[in-house]
Chain A
Amino acid sequence: MKTKNIKGQYSVLEYVFLSLFIIAIIIGLMFFLTIWSSIQFGAESMKTEWDRALWLGQYVQNIPLLVKETGMFDDGKLTALASMGPSKACEYLESLAGPDFFMELRILDGNETQINCTWQNYPDCNYWEFCKNTGKKKKKFYTLPVNVYRRIGFKLQETTTGRTDIGILKAGVY
């Protein structure tokens, strides 16, 4: 009799544990789906930021304020904008490209030294940067090869003539 009672209790316990286990699985599944949704949302948000960074890299190559033609920046225009001062220049660009945007442009002239362009050293310089805020958090950017039209490219005996160099554009978002 006692043995039968114990056996009965074990059977009931077995079903109780099984039910608890199934409930635990269901709760686990619910948690997992919630976490997965937030991962998906985060991934979509990151993808949107990367897409914006790529769009900016293509967009700045068409802004008349900076370029001579698509994909060809004008060094005179870049220097003029840079000479407005970092915050004014950034404000101007952000009004076109949106907030949290930055760009750098470096001419690959074989010179290892990076020389920031100002009116004082123009045209003997090879680098421009806009909205570069080193204090901000991680940035997402793309690099693209571009051309830079140097207005004073070739210095001839009595005159100067333009020259097209190759450079790297780094444009992105914070």
Chain B
Amino acid sequence: MNAEKNHEKAQASIIMIVLVLIIFAGLALFLLSFAKTMSQEDYMSTYVNSLLLSIMRTDTGYLDSDCRLVSDAISCSFFSTGLVCRDSEITCDSLAYRKVEEYINRTIKKGFRYFFSVTPEGFVARSSSGEPIKFEIGDSKLKSEKTEKWSANQRIMKATATGQYSLKVQLVIAVKK
């Protein structure tokens, strides 16, 4: 009976030692989880904004003022749909699509997907067939997907005889699954 009691005491001691070790390890893990590492948020926010701005300011290769920069070609797609760039056979909307896609694919980091869209603000731009113009490139699922993503916005303003209009340009990027 005494031997049994000693056994029980020993077992209780061992259990207590194991419990203390577990608490100790748990405490260590808990504290280590607060060790700060590099924050990517600031960088990714700067990156996506720089990417969008750089693309919009890049030359397309055409000297026509309606087609000169990527932002000019995008603006032309909405306000002068179907306009052919001077000394070429390409329309400004085709050029805008082609150049945005080309520059993003050339520049974006490996392992990232994107969604680029242009939306008229406060008006509806229509093509010659009467359909509302939609300018979207990339993975459209990114728009509504609940995943870690970073976005940048810019505006293209245009003053015409009938008033001032603006286009909202948005670029969203996320890591590929």
Q: Check if B119 is an interface residue, CB within 8 A of chain A.
A: no
Q: Do A147 and B58 touch across chains, with their CB atoms under 8 A apart? A: yes
Q: Which of A21, A28, A32, A164 is close to B57, meaning CB atoms less than 8 Å apart?
A: A164
Q: How many A-B residue pairs have CB under 8 A?
A: 82
Docked pose: A142 CA to B43 CA in angstroms = 8
Other-chain contact of B51, A44, A145, A153 (Cβ < 8 Å) = A145
Does B107 make an interface contact (CB < 8 A)?
yes
Which residues of the other chain, B, contact A18 by a CB distance below 8 angstroms?
13
Residue numbers in A under 8 Å from B161 (CB-CB) = none
With most chain A CB atoms within 10 A of its CB, the pick from B2, B13, B59 is B59
Cα(A51)–Cα(B39), bound, Å? 9
A147 touches B57 (CB 8 A): yes
Q: Does A39 contact B (CB under 8 A)?
A: yes
Contact of A27 with B by CB under 8 A: no
Contact of A58 with B by CB under 8 A: yes
Which residue of chain B is the closest to A72 with respect to CB atoms? B57
Find chain B residues with CB under 8 A from A84 CB.
Answer: none
Which residue in B24, B69, B107 is a CB contact (below 8 Å) of A108?
B107
Determine the distance from Cα of A44 to Cα of B42 in the docked complex, in whole angstroms. 16
Q: Is A135 an interface residue (CB 8 A)?
A: no
A10 to B3 Cα, complex, angstroms? 12
Is A30 among interface residues, defined by CB-CB distance under 8 A? Answer: no
Q: Which residues of A contact B (CB under 8 A)?
A: 7, 10, 14, 18, 21, 25, 28-29, 32, 36, 39-40, 43-44, 46-47, 50-51, 54, 57-58, 71-72, 108, 110, 142-147, 153-154, 161, 163-168
Whether the Cβ atoms of B6 and A10 lie closer than 8 Å is: yes
- Contacts A36-B32, A71-B50, A164-B57 known; 20 new A-B pairs at CB < 8 A: A7-B2, A10-B6, A14-B13, A21-B17, A28-B24, A36-B28, A39-B35, A40-B35, A43-B35, A54-B43, A57-B46, A58-B46, A71-B57, A145-B51, A145-B55, A164-B59, A165-B59, A166-B103, A166-B107, A168-B107
